[in-house]
A = this chain, B = another copy of it.
Amino acid sequence: MSSTTALPQHYVELSSLCRDIASLTAIGSLIGWDQETYMPPAGAEGRSDQQALLSGITHERKTSKRFGELLAACEADASLMRPGTIEAANIRELRRDYDLSTKLPTSLVSELAKTTSQAQEAWKHARSTNNFPAFAPHLTEVLRLTRQKAECYGIPSFDGPAGPKSRKGELYDALLNEYEPDISAADIQQIFTPLQSRLSAFVAQITGSPIKLSAACAELGATTDQQQALALDVIKAIGFDLQAGRLDKTAHPFCSGIGPGDTRLTTRYTSRSFLEPLSSTLHEAGHGLYDQGLPKTEHFGLPSSDAVSLGIHESQSRMWENFVGRSREFCAYLVPLAKKHFGAAAANLTAEELFKASNTIRRSFIRVESDEATYNLHIMLRFEIERELISGQMEVADLPGEWNNRFKALLGLDVPDNAQGCLQDVHWSFGLIGYFPTYTLGNLYAAQIWETINAKIPDLHARIAQGDFAPLLTFLRENIHHHGRRYSATELCQRITGKPLSADPLMRYLEGKLKPLYQI
């Protein structure tokens, strides 16, 4: 990395604009966090004015003429564009962000904001009354505007056998690339197709097994305070820095990377089982560890201090939630902690019971209630459908029928109603199209990186059983977190694992763990 003093003025000024934009974004994140945690209900209307104003100011700066000029000056400066330098990577990524921000006309942005805001209300009502036709016209309109948005972005090209950017993508790729740059729907399809058939068959095998696992051992009636104390112990143990972060309660768990030294997790507790809230806390803490590991001190505001993509972010949350959190060794680590915090209620808890409870596989209609094995089937269904909706292959009117038929084929269940079918997720009403596949990409990246980590740290599992998570976190810090957006997700995967992304590691991982448990 070049020393800052030697950097040309246009790069220094551009970095300073970026830092201000990041500070504004941090403020937006904080007031959003406050809205979900501590804001009194009557503050909602004022808060929405504050958010709108701040978004406007932030957008103005992101798309300013000066930003564009400085960026162009940097691109024209050979001293900055030397391949392999952080500066060159930052300029490349800033160009990507600037183009995304400037390509949409203001009229489309506000039309989308208005339409999706109405669609969210319509969706809430349609889901609660199981009334798809009431939502259909809203979804049609969201899709129409989203296609327009994709056209404004332009269909991206990808590297191919004929050279860099030699492969033309499809309209859906323009949307996908907002969340997961440098990967095409066709690339994803190539990994998803074998995953889908193998996973579907594997789930059928599990379902057919006479072994039925139970999660009843986690139903200890632990109070919210007890669970919060346990959760704090666990996130501290895995390395989440509470001097630079918090854990609060909200209706829906999330992680918000506010700014340097300030990463906030939220979770929700149920008195029923302590495992589900703990998994969700581990998930958010996985996002949080990534956020805390980004080099925000030196590079705040620059892409080199940002996360690579939603898929890589999700790989971190899933790794801690599933690969660590649902392992036999983690359960062994957890038992004494549960006894410490839950007292007599946990007196008879065993690691093996907890391990089984953490790995009960059950087909269900609802994505967010599904388990490690079936989850990806839910995602692949959505990916297929939204891709066809964007290309025009599928009509909105046919969505419920198509959903139900494909769900039956994938999971062998008859969807009883649209509320438990195609109306269950909020995403499409928000205009989040191209977002779903990043969840499964996250699982795939996690599995492939996990295999490499296991090869490099032979005693990883023994360490986990002892509550020593440092070797794992150190690996993630050095190989992923510290790089920011220097490498794309594809490059990062290749650098760490030596191979392009494939379905094999995830299938090996699931089969290796679940076959013995279900005796299949």
Contacts and interface: CB of A to CB of B under 8 A. Distances in A.
Interface residues of A, number: 38
Contacts of A19: 49
Interface string A32-60: 00100011111111110110011001000
A255 to B, nearest CB: 14
A199 interface: no
Question: In the assembly, how many copies of this chain are there?
Answer: 2
A46 B246 contact: no
B243 A42 contact: yes
A259 interface: yes
Nearest to A54: B27
Interface centre among A24, A39, A43 (most CB of B within 10 A): A43
A43 B241 contact: no
A262 B26 contact: no
A426 interface: no
Contact of A244 (B24, B31, B42): B42
Given A40-B242, A53-B24, A261 B46 contact: yes
Interface string A284-316: 000000000000000010000000000000000
A30 interface: yes
Contact of A27 (B27, B41, B258, B263): B27
Interface in A234-249: 241-246, 248
A23 interface: yes
The 4 closest A-B pairs by CB, nearest first: A42-B261, A43-B262, A42-B244, A46-B259
B242 A43 contact: no
Q: Is the interface of A mostly helix, strand, loop or mixed?
A: helix
Interface of A: 19-20, 23-24, 26-27, 30-31, 34, 38-47, 49-50, 53-54, 57, 241-246, 248, 258-263, 300
Contact of A23 (B20, B24, B53, B261): B53
8 contacts: A23-B49, A23-B53, A27-B31, A39-B262, A40-B262, A41-B261, A44-B261, A45-B261
A50 B259 CA distance: 9
Contacts of A259: 43, 46-47, 50
A313 to B, nearest CB: 20
A43 B245 CA distance: 8
Given A31-B30, A46-B23, A53-B24, A41 B243 contact: yes
B260 A40 contact: no
Contact of A40 (B31, B42, B47, B244): B244
Given A26-B46, A27-B27, A50-B26, A261 B57 contact: no
Contacts of A54: 27
A38 B264 CA distance: 10
Given A40-B245, A46-B261, 16 more contacts: A19-B49, A24-B53, A26-B46, A26-B50, A30-B31, A31-B31, A38-B248, A40-B262, A40-B263, A41-B243, A42-B241, A42-B243, A43-B259, A45-B261, A46-B260, A50-B259
Contacts of A42: 241, 243-244, 260-262
Contacts of A260: 42-43, 45-46
Contact of A261 (B43, B246, B263): B43
Contacts of A43: 244, 258-262
Contacts of A44: 261
Interface centre among A23, A39, A46 (most CB of B within 10 A): A46
A384 B23 CA distance: 43
A44 B243 CA distance: 11
A258 B34 CA distance: 12
A452 B42 CA distance: 33
A259 B57 CA distance: 19
A23 B45 contact: no
A129 B86 CA distance: 48
Given A30-B34, A262-B42, A20 B243 contact: no
Contacts of A49: 19, 23
